[in-house]
Amino acid sequence: MERTLWRRLPLLVRANSKESVEFILQTLWRTRKSGLDADDRRLLCEMLQLQNESDLDPLLLCLRVLIRKCVYENISKDDIQKVFPEEVLPELQRLLTLLLQKFQREWQADIHMDKVSLPFLKAMTWNTATQETEMMEPLAVINLKLQNDAQAPQEELDLKFQLAKGTLDTMLKSMYCIRDQLSNLGET
């Protein structure tokens, strides 16, 4: 990290308490995907007693970098302390190290939960049936057997749905088109 990034870190000392710094870190984590909204920014400025909101962004950037290192690189307590340059106050280093360690496992669990495991198709069968309506329009009943790696390996989900003839025709034409394109790729 650049030395200039650390220049704003002492602004955390303006926070009234350890709980305030903890709240700031939790807010940054909570808004990691969306960014801070105007209310969050205003609240953090008040907590840090900042007159100028432009002082907030460099501090938040520094804290987000620390959070990412802690969560994604799984760094230990000793390694967290090594990230700080000498000019960062020892009390501030200790406080941030303790708080980052406190939330490290929780945040890593959040990251793990964020990774969506999509089910994969294990089997597909279909048969045509005749719908009992005035028009006696044929339907295709498709049975999909899906399996999700995130669940137990034996857990499967059966999914059945019906397609009208027009939809089935369109789907089959698309599948044949894809097959032909893949065949042409294989030949070249």
**pLDDT at residue 146 greater than cutoff 70:** no
Inter-CA distances, 139 with 162, 169, 174, Å: 6, 11, 18
Which has the closest alpha carbon to 101: 130, 73, 64, 76? Answer: 76
Please compute Rg for the chain using Cα positions: 28
Predicted confidence (pLDDT) at residue 129 exceeds the cutoff of 70: no
User: Taking the complete model, does pTM exceed 0.85, yes or no?
Assistant: no
Mean pLDDT in residue range 163-179:
72
- Contact yes or no for 157/169 (Cβ under 8 A): no
Whether the predicted pLDDT of 28 surpasses 70: yes
Distance CA(13)–CA(29), nearest Å, equals 20
Q: Measure the CA–CA gap between 3 and 131, rounded to whole angstroms.
A: 72
For the chain, what are the domain ranges?
3-114, 116-165
For residue 19, the model assigns a pLDDT of: 93
From 91, 95, 62, 63, select the one nearest 77 (Cα to Cα): 95
Task: Indicate the pLDDT class of residue 75, thresholds 50, 70 and 90.
Answer: confident
Confidence at residue 44, expressed as pLDDT on a 0 to 100 scale:
93
Section 23-37 average pLDDT: 91
Contacts of 65 by beta carbon, 8 Å cutoff, 6+ apart: 1, 5
| Across 15-34, average pLDDT | 91
The neighbour count for residue 121, using CB atoms within 10 Å, is 10
Distance CA 42, CA 53 (A): 8
- Residue range 24-34: average pLDDT? 91
Instruction: With a cut of 50, say whether residue 1 has pLDDT above it.
Output: no
